A and B are shown apart, each in its own frame.
Chain A
Amino acid sequence: MPQRAHALIELPVLASFIIEMTRSIKANGSNASKACDVMVVGGGNAGLCAAITARELGASVVLLEQAPKHSRGGNSRHARNLRVSHAISSDYLRGVYSAEEYWDDIARVAGENTDKDLARVMIAESVDVTTWMERRGVCFQRSRDTAARSRKTAYLLGGGKALLNAYYLTAERLGVDIRYDSEVLSLGFDDGMARDATVVTDGVPAQLRAKAVVVASGGIAANIDWLRQYWGEAANHCLIRGTAYADGHILKELLDRGAAPVGDPAQCHMVAVDARAPKFDGGIVTRLDGLPFGIVVDRNGRRFHDEGENVGRERYAIWGSLVLRCPGQIAYAIFDSKVDTLFRPSLYPPIQAPTVAELAVKLTLDSRTMAATVSRFNDAVRDASNGGKNGYGRTEGITPPKTRGALLIDTPPFGGFPVRPGITFSYFGVRVDQRARVLMANDRPSANVFAAGLSMAANILGRGYLAGMGMTIGTTFGRTAGREAAQYVLQ
């Protein structure tokens, strides 16, 4: 088909293609600009919200994404939903979620580890955030069926990667200079102000001057060396559910320059994941949620925790840190065919065997200890006749007990999952004020350095977990950082 025929039919497409080509030559060629108004470090949700906002206000923006294009977006790739306060129901949210209730939820999970003023700002901003997002191409999962909608979180249609695709297209359209494979090695400070950065793009280092810097480079969850300082060798055995690029070296750079830290670098949000999952980016499908249905043993074939302690919806969340404390950071969920189907479908099928002893062999456990553990457990089960998912069964006379949902493990085939701790995100970052300015050790805000997303999320959620809140922090503080950076530059 001759090129002319294409052009006639698809002139607009061709035009945008030429613009895109020109832009990419400009970005990658020798005349890639060496200065900009706002430099955004990190191309996840928060960085994109900051870049788009700053560009819309008229600033020239360079967005530096460490990953190649196919892996862009950090942990936002794995995001699912967004927690928003709302007074009326919509196509993708039902009922009412008041600011008060939102705050109560945060206070419940984070305890003292939250800044109430920042949390209030975030909650207030969350009210109109979905409209803002939709105007920039993000799609939510709509449902005519009210019951199918969530009350507290709006689900992203297609998940976080679809959101990233939409934001990247919007940013490109607005003229944000997006540079993939671009790692910021160091930030240059002068008199407490960020002046420039050493950026390695496609392996070539260069200086990039900027009038303001937004740090949205995530947390430290993927930095095993850093975590090893606190956890020792145990850190080597954790799986990282998110991006391999969240190594926190820009956070470290800021701290070295005198930024005030927030949160605890020794703490991460962890869940139980299938030990067969990949080291990085396993995302949601590696999660094992059914541990309370059977028993959980360590590598010596012994139970170590009351499996019935938490049988609620977030039951999988407690097991990450429990398994981290197990020898070798591995544990095994053992169950029988009665509860097989109660597990949410997950990435790998359970390992199965006709007897407990054979299952133990398949799981590389000592079969005699394992058989003894199961028979001792079965002997201790009481009131299991009312059994079922959240049945009344409990144990008597064994330590630790299983206080809820104890059923006999007696119906072959028997099943098992190998379990490892999977790190979702870290509770560590830099302190910010309500304008997303990074606070220095003397509590004075930096004039031109801003932070958004997981780099500062510990200000609000220094402990615990609320579904969809990471995305809300990223979006609201991303917008704030972009707005404040642009206003500082353009004033």
Chain B
Amino acid sequence: MCCSEAVDIARRAIEICNACRYCDGYCAVFQVMKLRRSFSDADVGYLANLCHSCRNCYYACQYAPPHEFAVNVPASFSRVRAETYQHYAWPRSLAFLFRRNGVFVALTVAAAIALVLISVIALQMPGRNFEPYLGSEAFYAVVPKSIMTFVAIGALGLSLIVLTVSVGRFWRDIGGRPADAEISGALWSAIGDVLTLRNLAGGGHGCNDRSESFSRARRYCHHVMFYGLLLCAAATAVAGFYDHVLHWPSPYPLSSLPVLLGAAGGSAMIFGAGGFVLIKMRGDPDPQAQGPGEPDYTILALLLMVAGSGLVLLAFRETAAMSLLLAVHLGAVLSLFAILPFSRLVHGCYRAAALLRAAMELKGRGGQ
């Protein structure tokens, strides 16, 4: 991230902000900014990842374009964030995956679905694939349980390791230590920030989602999508518990906990991600750093695919299409696990780290 143009533009904006300070009341970015007089590349990356892209400061800015200072904090921070993801990516040789993210994700999804489909065909007796499987262990007749579990846990585990190392590098660069004594005091505040998206509150009035008028749509869409994803994760965990501990194999009836959690979570993800796409498409393009086809849309499309294929599978699981639908859904989920550390989803981890750092710095200073 050293000396890049995006960082320099962002630093120039920060210096103007720090001399102005009209936006102090909006979010943690400006609170943290006030504590410094000069801004290293790591500081710029830290502030950029703290930014939730609510655009309050853009519409309030007396120096926004066409003013010659052309301060556009959300857009310049968004470009810096994209660079931090590359800069801290581990292994470093894979950082390029962020640059061709759409191609990478598309190929991974295609490969994962193809892999699962081929496995289904290869592992099963020819001619059996398109018959409906009913009753207990029907899914495992399509993909054996051991393979499903092993591949899924393997992919997710590997991704989490990669992600942890990457974010750990960022954490050290912004001044964090692995076992910082201050962490515990700030942890709850940071977790609250993550779970409530307090910094999207805009001093209480919401974001500027589409224009200079305020709205809470973006915050709510994120909540719906995020908690939808958590519900899906909970569904998977409960199903795993049923299966491995209680020895009660899937598929589960419609009224069972995994199905209820998964159906609710999947629907929520579709509403949340769909809303996000609408907001992005209809929004004022000026404070956005990217257009359609960029990484944000890529990950939203994949999340929609994961949730959608899961719901379609639920709807048609007792028909002949089940095995194919299951293959597509598992392929989508597998690709989500695989691309996790090289997708826009990493923003959550980088932002959480920045929020924790900010909570540590702001502790005892009267808060926001």
Within the assembled complex, what's the spacing in Å between the Cα atoms of A171 and B184?
Answer: 49
Given B23, B56, B62, B275, which contacts A283 in the complex, CB threshold below 8 Å? Answer: B62
Using A70-B66, A157-B25, A345-B37 as known contacts, say yes or no to A143 and B366 having CB atoms under 8 A apart. yes
Residues 332-375 of A, flagged 1 when their CB comes within 8 A of B and 0 if not, give 00000000010011110000000000000000000000000000
Within the assembled complex, what's the spacing in Å between the Cα atoms of A217 and B366?
Answer: 41
Given B20, B66, B212, which contacts A165 in the complex, CB threshold below 8 Å? Answer: B212
Q: Which of B188-204 contact A (CB under 8 A)?
A: 203-204
B3 at the interface (CB under 8 A from A): no
Q: Do residues A165 and B60 form an inter-chain contact, with CB atoms below 8 A?
A: yes
Q: Which of B48-81 contact A (CB under 8 A)?
A: 56-57, 59-63, 66-69
B367 at the interface (CB under 8 A from A): yes
Using A281-B62, A283-B62 as known contacts, say yes or no to A158 and B23 having CB atoms under 8 A apart. yes
A9 at the interface (CB under 8 A from B): yes
Interface window among A144-152, A185-193, A321-329, A476-484: A144-152
Within the assembled complex, what's the spacing in Å between the Cα atoms of A139 and B60?
Answer: 11
Q: Do residues B62 and A78 form an inter-chain contact, with CB atoms below 8 A?
A: yes
Q: Do residues A142 and B60 form an inter-chain contact, with CB atoms below 8 A?
A: no
Nearest chain-B residue to A73 (Cβ)? Answer: B62
Within the assembled complex, what's the spacing in Å between the Cα atoms of A347 and B16?
Answer: 6
Q: Which chain B residues border A161 with CB–CB below 8 Å?
A: 59-62
Given A1, A145, A148, A165, which contacts B59 in the complex, CB threshold below 8 Å? Answer: A165
Within the assembled complex, what's the spacing in Å between the Cα atoms of A285 and B23?
Answer: 13
CB distance from B18 to the nearest CB of A (A): 5
Using A139-B203, A139-B204, A145-B366 as known contacts, say yes or no to A283 and B20 having CB atoms under 8 A apart. yes
A77 at the interface (CB under 8 A from B): yes
Q: Which chain B residues border A155 with CB–CB below 8 Å?
A: 24-25
B213 at the interface (CB under 8 A from A): yes
Using A70-B66, A169-B213, A345-B19 as known contacts, say yes or no to A141 and B59 having CB atoms under 8 A apart. no
Q: Do residues A158 and B57 form an inter-chain contact, with CB atoms below 8 A?
A: yes
Within the assembled complex, what's the spacing in Å between the Cα atoms of A142 and B26?
Answer: 10
Please report the total number of A residues contacting B with Cβ < 8 Å. 38
Q: Which chain A residues border B204 with CB–CB below 8 Å?
A: 139, 142
Q: Which chain B residues border A168 with CB–CB below 8 Å?
A: 212
A159 at the interface (CB under 8 A from B): yes
Given B18, B278, B366, which contacts A147 in the complex, CB threshold below 8 Å? Answer: B366
Using A157-B25, A158-B22, A278-B68 as known contacts, say yes or no to A169 and B212 having CB atoms under 8 A apart. yes
Residues 7-46 of B, flagged 1 when their CB comes within 8 A of A and 0 if not, give 0000000011011101111100000000001000000000
Which of A9, A345, A346 has the most CB atoms of chain B within a 10 A radius of its CB? A345
B205 at the interface (CB under 8 A from A): yes
CB distance from A122 to the nearest CB of B (A): 24
Nearest chain-A residue to B59 (Cβ)? Answer: A165
Within the assembled complex, what's the spacing in Å between the Cα atoms of A158 and B23?
Answer: 4
B281 at the interface (CB under 8 A from A): yes
Q: Which chain A residues border B18 with CB–CB below 8 Å?
A: 345
Other contacts beyond A1-B278, A157-B26: 15, CB < 8 A: A142-B203, A148-B366, A157-B203, A158-B57, A158-B60, A159-B20, A159-B23, A161-B62, A162-B59, A162-B60, A165-B212, A284-B19, A285-B63, A345-B19, A347-B19
Q: 7 A-B Cβ contacts within 8 A?
A: A141-B24, A143-B25, A158-B56, A158-B203, A161-B60, A168-B212, A347-B19
- 5 tightest A-B contacts by CB? A158-B60, A159-B22, A145-B366, A141-B25, A162-B60
A: residues with CB less than 8 A from B are 1, 6, 9-10, 70-71, 77-78, 80, 139, 141-145, 147-148, 155-162, 165, 168-169, 278, 281, 283-285, 341, 344-347
